[in-house]
A and B are shown apart, each in its own frame.
Chain A
Amino acid sequence: MSLNLDSKIPSGPIEDKWTKHKFDMKLVNPANRRKFTAIVVGTGLAGSSAASSLGEMGYNVKAFFVHESPRRAHSVAAQGGINGAKNYKNDGDSTYRLFYDTVKGGDFRAREANVYRLAEVSGNIIDQAVASGVPLAREYGGLLSNRSFGGAQVSRTFYARGQTGQQLLIGAYQGMMRQAEKGQVKLFPRREMLDVVIVNNRARGIIVRNLITGELEKHEADVVIMATGGYANVFFLSTNAMACAVTAGWKAHKQGALFANPCYTQIHPTCIPVHGEMQSKLTLMSESLRNDGRIWVSKIQGDTRKANDIPESDRDYYLERIYPSFGNLAPRDVSSRQAKYRVDEGRGVGGKEAVYLDFKESISRLGQSAISERYGNLFEMYEKITGENPYQVPMRIYPAPHYTMGGLWVDYNLMSTIPGLFVAGEANFSDHGANRLGASALMQGLADGYFVLPYTIGNFLASVGNTEKVSTDHPAFAEAKNRVDAELSQLLKIKGSRSVDSFHKQLGRIMWDNCGMARNEQGLKKALEQIPQLKQEFWNDVYVPGDNKSLNPELEKAVRVADFFELGELMCRDALERNESCGGHFREEYQTADGEALRDDQAFCNVAAWEYKGASVAPQKHTEELVFEKVKLATRSYK
């Protein structure tokens, strides 16, 4: 069976598509909206903004989240900024330029129409944030400040010091809490979505586990929105928060939602390296540091000298050497991969996975106070974590998994292949192609929640009507609940000898070594043998203490890791079948003579969307061809 992946891109010129579509879509009369209920899973930027917007319109919203408070979702940790094509700086920015940069930055693997809409609403997001009280950075004249970010040639990034994600999330959260007070949004804290319920080929509810009591709850609705984030924690060590997981998305995938481009992962070049076996997560250092820091390693393999004892003549400033024009500012994927090559050559700091980021030259040129003014808080954070003073010794950095561009396949309306199941934010695949540009994740999350879903959800609900209500007594709810119950009971029954974390770390290592910054056929095939073996061992030998009647963090982790095994396998399969290099997906077999990514636009100018076929059956790949009408396919070059 081949699925028809209809992207439902509206006809007409790209500049008019969204406007035309907004007019063509059906509306729900304000008086009728209270007759509909929407479930929103996840309360990061996409989930909070969707819940508050739908509540404001008059829909009944039920918001579910794993934390005790919706404000704790991982959007809170984003540092850098949010793009908005306001052209406040009069430096040539426009909707078209933001669109163009995003398509190119995504290495021509994103859908043009979606990206254009994203750029189109980017300015409205800034307005909405300001009106909600988000304290974005300002100039002395009182107007909003912008900076250039991630190598962009225009200043279009709005920011709130290094805490832009926190401030935007609190803004969206406060909007949602206002609706909670009015009774339009009902909050369900400490609930984890463990399955989607489908009735008559339409998503009609979810099964959640109450993390405090262990109870499995059935919730029905007219439409289900998943804003459940990314899956970088498949690597165990990533910059994601500990609870970030693929579980909600994976359960939907197993019920029929296609999973698109799982191999597109972003590895951020400047993170604090691993300190030892007990490392639990990695901390990002803003890449703005690369504006003044020089990246180097020793020219000598296995050099054990201290950084300050290594003379200039023995230092290899490899990014400046290989990319003379971009130097230390080479894009994220390129910088990350080059760091990996140095470590593979045995030239990492102290033989470990780390390279130096050195401010000595900038400090002697600009003075310590100038550097401190620019990066003081980052230097403090670095010292807090490592115990080393970066004014005196070079920082040690290494790339770490940071964001996942892949996710559940959605059409232009953000609806998955399950009717009535919408997916927003990092959880969907739609806007970033094979590589996300800096300051674009926050933009996408809020675009989906504030300005896309409020329209497309209405269109869907108006189309299906509200006569066909279902209750949680429907057998489909009992069936889904039984599926979840069986999995939880199984995990608790094994009582083997190894902890959940020990398996997760081992899986993470396989993924990092074989499906990380650089991939090749041999490694991916090896991973595809190792992962199922480890998965089997997990299901035979994991030890999950306690029961399912109270708070049990180990059980929560076990469910998530079980799904990461299956996702990891799909990521490797996707990476193996994509015989080209693009953005965050670098296949060593496909590179130019200079070692740059070599796309194959003949064979792979498409979205790979995978269909789950059963536990012991290989998944089936479907493709959506990508058509570039506006932006000409070209090779990225940073030499």
Chain B
Amino acid sequence: MLDVKNLQVRVEDKEILRGINLTVKPGEVHAIMGPNGSGKSTFARALAGHPGYEVTGGSVSYQGRDLLDMDPDERAREGVFMAFQYPVEIPGVNNAYFLKAALNAKRKQQGLDELDAMDFMALVKQKLKVLHVDESMLLRSVNEGFSGGEKKRNEIFHMAVLEPTLAVLDETDSGLDIDALRVVSDGVNAMRSPERSFIVVTHYQRLLEYIVPDYVHVLADGRIVRSGGRELALELEEKGYGEMTGARK
């Protein structure tokens, strides 16, 4: 599914990722943990193709193709989804209208017929129910005036509609209360399947109680310093990042 080799990324002349190696197989859930500034969000954004993140070395192969050679929109249409840490407010763009355009862009790429408004609404209403998302969210401008929790829920709602092959969740748990965290996690868990993989980027172990990962990787100073099973997250919780990563704090 995803094969990251020695990935190096620079942001505004600052080396952030210094050689990431990661292999994700279909159906797996990988958690990327690490202290602030370790490069976890950089990794997520680089996978999504953010133009501000310059890849200076290494390779990323996604389903046998060179991911780094694809524009952000092509990555999305090929099934890569990133749930943003800070979803962007877009005044004047209706949430449902945007999501329909995004879904149809993907369907077109897959050679499927575009959904008309009726079919789209039927699909969307079903997803809303699963995620306990209020229908009024559809009628509002994308993320405009949404609370922190609503924004994150909207991201998961987009993910549920777009049904990605590889979903990258960038600190989706930050700013969520326990109820919202449960709803978001239920949404993710409902989508787990043998064909779909997840990369869950988080600072806290808490999220991993709800979304149970197959593997946990600890990032420090732009490199993966430890990898293991879910027990690694518990160990982190106990010892803190300082001891785990050998960082002087």
Chain A partners chain B:
no
